[in-house]
Chain A
Amino acid sequence: MQAFADLIQQLERSPGTKDRVAALAAHLQAADGADGAWALALLLGKQRRRLITGRRLRQICLERSGLPEWLFDACHAQVGDSAETIALLLPQLALPPAPPLELPLAEWMETRLPALAALEAEVQAQAVLAIWAALPDGQCFLFNKLLTGGFRVGVAAGLVTRALAQVSGLEEAELAHRLMGGFEPSAAAMQALLAPLEAGAAAPISRPYPFCLASPLEAERLAATDPTGWQLEWKWDGIRAQLIRRSGQTFLWSRGEELINASFPELVGMAEGLPPGTVLDGELTVWLPQAPQPAGFGPLQRRLGRHKPGAALLRECPAAFVAYDLLERGGQDLRPEPLSRRRAALEDLLQGLTEAVATPATGLLRLSPVLPLGGWDALEALRQQARSVGAEGLMLKALDSAYGVGRRRGLWWKHKLEPMELDAVLLYAQAGSGRRANLYTDYTFGLWDGEGRLVTFAKAYSGLDDSEITELDRWIRRHTTERFGPVRAVEPLQVFSLGFEGLQLSSRHRSGLAVRFPRILRWRRDRTPESADSLTSALALLEDPAAQRSAFQR
């Protein structure tokens, strides 16, 4: 495990892409098969199972050290990570010296850690303490992290594939494809991953293609091009998904590479009607049979993560797959074909399907319509219509483009609607984690109710730049009125414009409203807290989202 701990440290100390890739490649090259496979799985964040809760480790640390809980929590607020907090507190445990323990990463992951997790109460505490005493300094943090799951190295997947490409001599795109749909950390899987093309074992039939991703629109770049070279579509407000039908089996993958067959039985049933060797790229939505537009993200959320949905839920929130690309037809990879050809093939495929499976406008499988685009000056008007059809903006895809791996700037653009906007008052702050540890960066905001009180409305974590974060952090420290563990209540003086994508009624929130993807748009130093928005203005947005720009824009 020392070599992996050293790699993590080296990555932390190397700011440059080149150095990072070199460090990764050197490690993957040198590591023994199983160790390398585990290192890769951890680097890709694909191995994040929690074996022991952070709470349990904290308890072991507290019992042994005699430190009060509140002090541990204060430390945690400063560090932002319980695994690291415990590693830093180990000297306070006064553990007896023990001979150093050095085991391969694979042995920790496959044998030692699961065995530790299976132990009971006091025996487990003693075993953990014995390991803490025996681990070299730099490994305690890593050990805690691997035990409590959710370990993130902070290295982009693209760099890891680049390193793999250096080690194997394969193309990055090929490796990205081979890594789709999960990587089981074993020496055999590692060998298969890096095997030369010609020797390639047959790919598993479940394997999805890497998603082609869009970039936020750069209007000037677009305006310089010919509108007839672009395919214009709605940007649907669902989740990206890939539907695979191969060898009589169906696989529905989310963008996060989760297999979500169990949550969407009606789509899996629908896919049985697809010809063999078909892969569709599209948007998962909830769409009622007779409705003119999808039901929005709220109902979709009720379906996500719900295995085996009941009959009532299936009836209330029926799913539909809105197809916009065809990646494989008759088992042939269509991705190198230009979009115009893939689109024609997609329309052709859907037309050939029986009425029971789909029609382009209704049913379980729909065709994402292509919108007519006269010229660039018509674009903005179309975008403004998006909300009225239940979309969150527009997509622009170059008709002559191949289906790329990941984000290739300039081929696919997304042009989202302006977010809804409200001015809210900062009420609480909590320290962030990771690189935001010990900085107050997790903010809770309130709106006025009818009785002159501020009611918590939304939390936001992003939108301020580094210097604003630092400035606000200092302000928060000096204007704290109360502390609740790691949370500080502050004087209600600072106003921020919050942007969000959607709003719905919710009985679980004190304000009665749930917001989708809230973030800070601007720090409104020009505004007094009294002039912030009220719950009434939020409710008005809920009733008429289109009204916001005229009624509430200042």
Chain B
Amino acid sequence: MVLPGDGLIQLTPEGLYCPAADAWIDPWRPVSRALITHGHADHARPGCGEYWAVAAGEGVLRQRLGAGITLTGVGYGQERRLGGALVSFHSAGHVLGSAQIRISAGGETWLISGDYKRDADPSCAPFEPVAADVLITEATFGLPIYRWRPGREVAAEILAWWRAAPQRPSLLFAYAFGKAQRLLAELSALGVDEEVLLHGAVQMLMAPYRSEGVVLPPTRPVSELPRSESLAGRLVIAPPSAHRSPWMKRFVNPQTAFVSGWMAVRGARRRRGFERGFALSDHADWDGLLRTVRDCGARQVYVTHGNSDGLARYLREEQGLAAEPLGRAFEVERSEEGEVGAAAATAVASPEAAS
């Protein structure tokens, strides 16, 4: 299913495009003007002429795409005119500076959700419901088996897991941008004020979060500690790609855990080879997706990512909404975080080259 060729938003080889604003939303390839929902690699790619994004996410974007990019930072809810369209960014509750993008022109309003969640997260602004005529929503966890518990509860379990192993380093694997800072903020809220150690990839993201005023415990890169120093009883946060990498050699007899929405399923936990899996996601769960569609009140819904077919069918058949999946172009090679790496993204952008 492709978007109508004459609509306010169209699907081009570069991604979602709004002719009235002459801008692409989270484009897959370099374009002249990109509106960015948030800084994760499958949404923000380098090489575009100009970028528009939420001001709170500016630090992260510059760090990931280059300090010299042309970037216009916009406040949440602020309306901007781009060509013949009105564009505004609204909090998506996914990570720091994440947004849903609302575009209006010719009496019609579209909302592109980007990635979002409905649960409380002390490291970013909460989700804001936005009304629109047409909604393009993600469905990374679009199955009713996915139902999140409050982040605070999961953080309390993680804290207990850490405290129960005073003789071993506790290696907590979590996506470097977003999940790691959310965990740190949750731990801080639980009263943790001792130093937490970080992998370099996580460390890089700390400055933007601290400068936005997010309350976090003290942190330090593991690499700054002398190699001889015992790490028993210390908590270390690292991206999942570091698991079973040479970086792990630094740790003597560590206990390992992975924090991800995918960890809700036993088979996924067993397959990944971590001792523990904590189910915590920065995406909406099933109920969160349905609630968001309801809150938006759109007459037409398009679904991207993950179980797009299933969510669209459910909305159509069980809730009587006009809903369609947006096709294979969005069925990305997601990692365990529902993210893609740069190489995978290239393959997705040109499916004909991949086969």
* Chain A residues within CB distance 8 Å of chain B: 12-15, 67-68, 70-71, 74-75, 78-81, 84-85, 88-89, 91-92, 141, 154, 433-439, 474, 477-480, 483, 491, 493
8 Å CB contacts to A: which residues of B93-134? none
A88 contact set on B, CB distance < 8 A: 145, 147, 264-265
A439 contact set on B, CB distance < 8 A: 271
B143 engages A75 (CB within 8 Å)? yes
Q: List 28 A-B contacts (CB under 8 A).
A: A14-B275, A68-B314, A68-B318, A70-B313, A71-B314, A74-B143, A74-B307, A75-B143, A75-B145, A78-B143, A84-B266, A84-B267, A85-B145, A88-B147, A88-B264, A89-B145, A92-B147, A433-B267, A436-B267, A437-B265, A438-B267, A439-B271, A474-B333, A478-B333, A478-B348, A478-B355, A479-B355, A493-B355
CA distance A439 to B272 in the complex (A): 12
CA distance A367 to B313 in the complex (A): 64
From residue A233, how far is it (CB to closest CB) to chain B in Å?
Answer: 39
Is residue B68 contacting chain A, with contact meaning CB distance below 8 A? Answer: no
B267 contact set on A, CB distance < 8 A: 79-81, 84, 433-438
B145 contact set on A, CB distance < 8 A: 75, 78-79, 85, 88-89
B270 engages A12 (CB within 8 Å)? yes
B144 engages A71 (CB within 8 Å)? yes
**Can you add 18 more A-B contacts, CB < 8 Å, to A14-B275, A154-B270, A438-B265?**
A15-B273, A71-B310, A71-B313, A74-B307, A75-B144, A78-B143, A78-B145, A80-B265, A81-B267, A84-B266, A141-B266, A435-B271, A437-B266, A437-B267, A437-B268, A437-B271, A478-B328, A478-B355
From residue A155, how far is it (CB to closest CB) to chain B in Å?
Answer: 12
From residue B332, how far is it (CB to closest CB) to chain A in Å?
Answer: 9
Q: Is the interface of A mostly helix, strand, loop or mixed?
A: helix
Is residue B269 contacting chain A, with contact meaning CB distance below 8 A? Answer: yes
Number of interface residues of B (CB under 8 A): 30
From residue B140, how far is it (CB to closest CB) to chain A in Å?
Answer: 12
Please give me the residue from chain A that is nearest to B333 by CB atom. Answer: A474
B270 engages A434 (CB within 8 Å)? yes
Is residue B317 contacting chain A, with contact meaning CB distance below 8 A? Answer: yes
B310 contact set on A, CB distance < 8 A: 71, 74
B147 contact set on A, CB distance < 8 A: 88, 91-92
Is residue B43 contacting chain A, with contact meaning CB distance below 8 A? Answer: no
From residue A116, how far is it (CB to closest CB) to chain B in Å?
Answer: 23
B333 contact set on A, CB distance < 8 A: 474, 478
CA distance A535 to B328 in the complex (A): 33
CA distance A480 to B351 in the complex (A): 12
A78 contact set on B, CB distance < 8 A: 143, 145, 265
B265 contact set on A, CB distance < 8 A: 78-80, 84, 88, 437-438
CA distance A81 to B145 in the complex (A): 12
From residue B172, how far is it (CB to closest CB) to chain A in Å?
Answer: 14
CA distance A478 to B350 in the complex (A): 11
* Chain B residues within CB distance 8 Å of chain A: 143-145, 147, 264-271, 273, 275-276, 307, 309-310, 313-314, 317-318, 328, 331, 333, 344, 348, 351, 354-355
From residue B326, how far is it (CB to closest CB) to chain A in Å?
Answer: 14
Provided the pairs A71-B310, A75-B145, A88-B145 are in contact, do residues A81 and B266 lie with their beta carbons within 8 angstroms?
Answer: yes
B307 contact set on A, CB distance < 8 A: 74
CA distance A13 to B355 in the complex (A): 39
Please give me the residue from chain B that is nearest to A92 by CB atom. Answer: B144
* A13 interface neighbour in B276, B314, B318, B354, Cβ under 8 Å: B276
Please give me the residue from chain A that is nearest to B262 by CB atom. Answer: A438
From residue A67, how far is it (CB to closest CB) to chain B in Å?
Answer: 6
Please give me the residue from chain B that is nearest to A67 by CB atom. Answer: B144
From residue A147, how far is it (CB to closest CB) to chain B in Å?
Answer: 17
CA distance A215 to B307 in the complex (A): 44
CA distance A355 to B130 in the complex (A): 91
From residue B148, how far is it (CB to closest CB) to chain A in Å?
Answer: 11
A474 contact set on B, CB distance < 8 A: 333, 344
Which of A71, A439, A493 has the largest number of chain B CB atoms within 10 A?
A: A71
B313 contact set on A, CB distance < 8 A: 70-71
* B317 interface neighbour in A15, A68, A438, Cβ under 8 Å: A68
B355 contact set on A, CB distance < 8 A: 478-479, 491, 493
B351 engages A478 (CB within 8 Å)? yes
From residue B150, how far is it (CB to closest CB) to chain A in Å?
Answer: 14
Which of B147, B265, B328, B333 has the largest number of chain A CB atoms within 10 A?
A: B265
Which of B145, B270, B309, B318 has the largest number of chain A CB atoms within 10 A?
A: B145
CA distance A480 to B317 in the complex (A): 23
A71 contact set on B, CB distance < 8 A: 143-144, 310, 313-314
From residue A202, how far is it (CB to closest CB) to chain B in Å?
Answer: 42
From residue B338, how far is it (CB to closest CB) to chain A in Å?
Answer: 13
CA distance A451 to B307 in the complex (A): 37
CA distance A85 to B265 in the complex (A): 9
B275 contact set on A, CB distance < 8 A: 13-15
B143 contact set on A, CB distance < 8 A: 71, 74-75, 78
CA distance A79 to B144 in the complex (A): 11
Please give me the residue from chain A that is nearest to B329 by CB atom. Answer: A478
CA distance A70 to B144 in the complex (A): 12
Please give me the residue from chain A that is nearest to B309 by CB atom. Answer: A483
From residue B92, how far is it (CB to closest CB) to chain A in Å?
Answer: 24
CA distance A88 to B286 in the complex (A): 12
From residue B322, how far is it (CB to closest CB) to chain A in Å?
Answer: 18
CA distance A68 to B273 in the complex (A): 33
Please give me the residue from chain A that is nearest to B310 by CB atom. Answer: A74
From residue B305, how far is it (CB to closest CB) to chain A in Å?
Answer: 12
From residue B340, how far is it (CB to closest CB) to chain A in Å?
Answer: 10
From residue B341, how far is it (CB to closest CB) to chain A in Å?
Answer: 11
CA distance A474 to B331 in the complex (A): 9
Provided the pairs A12-B269, A438-B265 are in contact, do residues A478 and B354 lie with their beta carbons within 8 angstroms?
Answer: yes
* A435 interface neighbour in B270, B331, B348, B351, Cβ under 8 Å: B270
